[in-house]
Structure 1
Amino acid sequence: MTKQFWNLVKVSPIVIVATFLAANSAFAAEINEEVTTVNQLSQAEDSNNIDQVTSVSQFSDVQPTDWAFQALQSLVERYGCIAGYPNSTYRGNRALTRYEFAAGLNACLDRVNELIATATADLVTKQDLATLQRLQEEFSAELATLRGRVDGLEARTAELEANQFSTTTKLVGEAIFAVSDVFGNQRADTDANPDNNPDLDSNATFSDRVRLNLYSSFSGKDQLQIRLNANNTISNAGVSGTNMTRLGFDGNNGNSVVIDKANYAFNFSDAVRVKVDATNGELYENVNTFNPDFASSGRGALSRYGRFSPIYRQGQGGAGLTVTLNPKGPISLTGAYLARTANDPTDNNGLFNGDNAIFGQLSFQPTKAFNIGLTYARTYQSDGAANNFFQGTGSIFANNPFGAGTRSLANNYGVEASFQFSPKLVISGWGGYTTADAKTGINAGADADIWYWAGSLALKDFGGEGNVLGVIFGQPPRVSGGSIKNAAANVDLDDDTSYHLEGLYKFRVSDNLQITPGLLVIFNPEHNNNNDTEYVGTLRTTFSF
């Protein structure tokens, strides 16, 4: 509607109230769109939220020279029923439909009735009432239709509420479909003779991983998580000869549906957050890993090493307790204890006698743009067959430097940081050092020094809103020193340096669909210059619902 229209019918200021309310009413703005869920209705109301104003000067986009300025000013003073958007704008040039105008007119009538009921009818002139009467007659058909649609919407909302899955539980799902292949001339090995390396014979694969999470809350500040998982993504290590080519979402249970995670988190006021893992506890899901754009297995890096520092894989797979002090503050402190075989009552297992990790992290987050963490983990490996310091991340020697039948103790130190230079540029990185000691077995008394580091670059909204172009470069865990490194049997292991280079592009098709092509390059696999460079090409499609 234009200025000329208002001049023609000589509408009083109260009519502009109806127009304004119609143009800004959350309900009217959404009534012409089909709403099928309670959440959609709630989101519609939130997205169009309007606030009462007491002065026309509160509108940043209304100037004294505007043709409607006097009318708006009069409405504020006489009727006190004019509203604006939360960002202090009026949006007076926004177009409106007849349904929107009818809804605004109805709201205006309610305001007039309120004024009359509170003995302030002198504020409403006869001219205003006559105009409103004519408008009500003019829009009687639209008002009747609007009431009918409201009644229908209320009935549909009541039906949805009566048949919803649960009042306390949300179902969140994720499905990954991936096409991948490993390329290179020869398989990697650990010796110094390149002539005995078998050919790298790999076929392209198509695999999946499906997860269904049930999140339940009983107080609004707690969360019970039960996760169902099925996957058939086989590790690339079998064809490449090295764990350095592993994907970040690999795992194979033959697509059998299993409950692979159960935990409960709750607050002691806002100062303490507690999480109890009953099975498959993972530190990287309980604490900040300082790699926000690549930490997720479904929507982050394609590779295993590119997701976050290996220090967060300590104690992975068992039960435990994680406590965070001041979780929302600029400085927070986290302590955790995980036991990998907490459910096994046999010798050298159980909650305290089996493999376990004691973890601590100090996080400093002065701003949303800059985060840094100092991390420590003490890891005890009780069973030589399960002796695996980084859960298959890095070289074979770095994961198991002392051999089978060895109990070992490791102290892990790490520093991690993330810096957002601008809304579209984020740089993250980590570095870590592990010193391990063999307590039993043929290498009892030996020690190993292990180093690793990496950095990542994320360019957000690259090529479109929600897209991310990412580059990750680093060195996977490598035994750089210690008496075990100089032992005669290990003299050639981890003598050189492997480098991890990963490029990926996260293409956001919609809020529920992401396609991620990428290439992983491993230079000198297994920290051995005698091994050829290996490549892993992957196309991952992630559905979330």
Structure 2
Amino acid sequence: ISAGLVDKVSQEDLATLKKLQEEFAVELASLRGRVDSLDVKVAKLETQQFSTTTKLRGEAIFGVAAASDGIIGNNGTLLPNGGADRTNTIFSYRVRLNLDTSFTGKDLLRTRLQASNTPNIAGTISGTAAAPVINGLGVPNSSRLSFDSESTPNTFEINRLYYKFPIGGSFTAYIAPIGQVEDILNPLNPLESDSQGAISRFSRFSPLIRIASGGGTTGLAVTGFDWKISDKVKFQTAYSASNTAAATGSGGVTGGDTKIAAQFVLNPADKLTFGIGYANAYTIGEQLNSGLNADSVPLGPIAPGIAATGFKSNTVVGSVIWDITNQFTFNAWGSWTFIDGIAGSTGATAASTTNTSWLASLSGKDLFREGDLAAISFGQPLFTTSASSGAVALPAGFIGLTSPNTPYQLEAFYRIPVSKNITITPGVFFVFNQGSNALNGTATVGVARTTFSF
């Protein structure tokens, strides 16, 4: 060293350095030992980069909803209530605990526990075709909350159980004994969250996802994959079946409600996303099992003696998301569903209908404070636009009997961030011509949803 630095370092400096080395020899030896130990640990981490980890994520919703069904007296339709416009206010909750486990750092095993007492406030129909009775506010499925639940009240149950994992660099596979199609197919709606976004069921998902989404008695099983074809194109597909754990009756992998759905997602520009999707579904009985307006068309009251044992449906959906600026986003979707009602055990088509639906939304984030979100949505819930006879001779004016008026829904909400983990979302939505009939009036639902995330 002294020879190489003779022109730059004096002999006095070298002597000082040598003296320091001698004085701190013990400390330097200890430091070398620590560095060697660190090298061993780094080598171990490089060979074992990940260990199995489970994280707990939770969410709790407190919801207050005040609703008026708008139906006054016996309105002369198939859905009389025999009384005045009914109103009520409810206070309910929903809590979820997600146990997220990863074995490689790139996969995910999710187990979700859920308990809720938030009802379908629109209720159901009982009684007979000649004298139906509404159990709830308004027409069934017309004014449901985004966070309602069909589970047993106040009982924890498994709401999700799925495993998704990468295959190569462009495929992600998904398999779920208990799941939903939206876990694979992107809903293409920035307001789809039932805890931080939309306040109504209709405003969350299109019929592509909603149809055949009921799990029956044993849950909805789903499998599929997400294929990233390029940076601008994705292809997603899923197969779902209800009651897959049932060994008899309308169960098994193919015996209950079934659906195969596929979707292309296109990103031609940074701020623009398009989607085109298709679904083929079979649902048992005279319903689509969508939880939406016009979910069922009971043929029995119209053509006594012949009822549909199932619906075969084909749905096409187009979607768009446009980030107008960094704050404002426009999104919309439109759907066409072609339905064949199957007549008894013959397999023949009893009757066919065409249903349409659409929704458009404008939202703005961080408008007054960081984390806030304001949105307004307007759309047409599922609506039967045409019908044709099959094995059932439909009467003249069938559409006038079942769907005389186009339903519409208007929704607005504002999400207020109280803290990093708490938000409050007041909002209101109106359902015009609920049940596709102007005689049913307008349902009004006001909501105050408080969400705790942890």
Report TM bin, short chain.
0.7 to 0.9
- Is 1:440 the equivalent of 2:325? no
The 3 A distance-change label for structure 1 pair 465 and 437 is same
TM-score (norm 2): 0.78
Deviation, structure 1 residue 490: 6.1
Query: Which residue among 221, 227, 234 is the counterpart of 1:319?
Result: 221
Q: How does 1:184-203 map onto structure 2 within 5 Å?
A: 184-186=69-71, 191-192=76-77, 197-203=82-88
Query: Which residue among 356, 373, 378 is the counterpart of 2:275?
Result: 373
Does structure 2 conserve the Cα–Cα contact (< 8 Å) formed by 1:282 and 1:315?
no
Q: Which residue of 2 aligns with 1:457?
A: 362
Deviation, structure 1 residue 420: 0.2
Q: Report Cα offsets for 1:307-337 as digits up to 9, x if no partner.
A: 1212212332311211111177310111211
Does structure 1 conserve the Cα–Cα contact (< 8 Å) formed by 2:176 and 2:222?
yes
In 2, the alpha carbon distance for the partners of 1:123 and 1:393 equals 85
Q: Which residue of 2 aligns with 1:63?
A: none
Q: How many matched pairs?
A: 385
Q: How does 1:376-387 map onto structure 2 within 5 Å?
A: 376-381=278-283, 383-384=284-285, 387=286
Query: Which residue among 123, 131, 145 is the counterpart of 1:247?
Result: 145
- Is 1:283 the equivalent of 2:188? no
Does structure 2 conserve the Cα–Cα contact (< 8 Å) formed by 1:222 and 1:264?
yes
Deviation, structure 1 residue 243: 1.5
The 3 A distance-change label for structure 1 pair 189 and 405 is farther
- Is 1:171 the equivalent of 2:23? no
Q: Which residue of 2 aligns with 1:497?
A: 406
Letter in 1 for 2:244: A
- Is 1:393 the equivalent of 2:295? no
Query: Which residue among 181, 186, 200 is the counterpart of 2:66?
Result: 181
> RMSD of the alignment, in Å?
3.1
Larger Rg: 1
Letter in 2 for 1:365: N
Q: Which residue of 2 aligns with 1:269?
A: 168
The 3 A distance-change label for structure 1 pair 184 and 278 is closer
The 3 A distance-change label for structure 1 pair 232 and 328 is farther
Q: Which residue of 1 aligns with 2:311?
A: 408
Does structure 2 conserve the Cα–Cα contact (< 8 Å) formed by 1:408 and 1:440?
no
Q: Which residue of 1 aligns with 2:158?
A: 259
Letter in 1 for 2:181: L
Deviation, structure 1 residue 191: 4.6
Q: How does 1:90-101 map onto structure 2 within 5 Å?
A: none
* Structure possessing the higher relative contact order (Cα contacts under 8 Å, 6 or more residues apart): 2
Query: Which residue among 487, 498, 502 is the counterpart of 2:395?
Result: 487
Q: Which residue of 2 aligns with 1:471?
A: 376
- Is 1:430 the equivalent of 2:333? yes
Identity %: 33
Letter in 2 for 1:470: A
The 3 A distance-change label for structure 1 pair 239 and 332 is same
Q: Which residue of 2 aligns with 1:65?
A: none
Does structure 2 conserve the Cα–Cα contact (< 8 Å) formed by 1:187 and 1:241?
no
In 2, the alpha carbon distance for the partners of 1:414 and 1:264 equals 27
Q: Which residue of 2 aligns with 1:421?
A: 324
Q: Which has the higher strand share?
A: 2
Q: Which residue of 2 aligns with 1:529?
A: 438
Secondary structure of the structure 1 residue equivalent to 2:435: helix
Letter in 2 for 1:355: D
Q: Which residue of 1 aligns with 2:97?
A: 212
In 2, the alpha carbon distance for the partners of 1:310 and 1:297 equals 17
Deviation, structure 1 residue 530: 1.4
- Is 1:508 the equivalent of 2:417? yes
Q: Which has the higher helix share?
A: 1
TM-score (norm 1): 0.65
